[in-house]
Amino acid sequence: MYVPLTALNEGEAGVVVDIQGGPNARAKLVAMGIAPGVTVKVIKGRGPGPMIIAVGSSRIAIGWGIARKIIVRRV
């Protein structure tokens, strides 16, 4: 099932399928390791403050606005 990254709960992981949004945002995400095929895990989800996700061993804080544009497949 394909859902936006924001739909994942804390502790859940997903494989990135697509990234929507402008070329600028896309390029930045891809370069930071968030590309189709990559598994990401939600460290901090819903609630106040930015989302925090794990990509490999690095941690990335990401705004809800762009997180909504990252489409993932639940694993």
| Closest approach of other proteins to the CB of residue 45, in Å | 10
Cα 44–Cα 47–Cα 48 angle in degrees, nearest 5: 100
CB-CB contact of 38 with 17 (8 Å) = no
| Closest approach of other proteins to the CB of residue 12, in Å | 12
3-state SS assignment for residue 6:
helix
CB-CB contact of 51 with 67 (8 Å) = yes
Q: Among residues 1 and 23, whose Cβ is nearest to other proteins? A: 23
| Closest approach of other proteins to the CB of residue 75, in Å | 12
Binding site for other proteins (CB under 8 A): 11, 13, 18-19, 21, 23-38, 41, 43-44, 48-50, 52, 54-63, 65-66
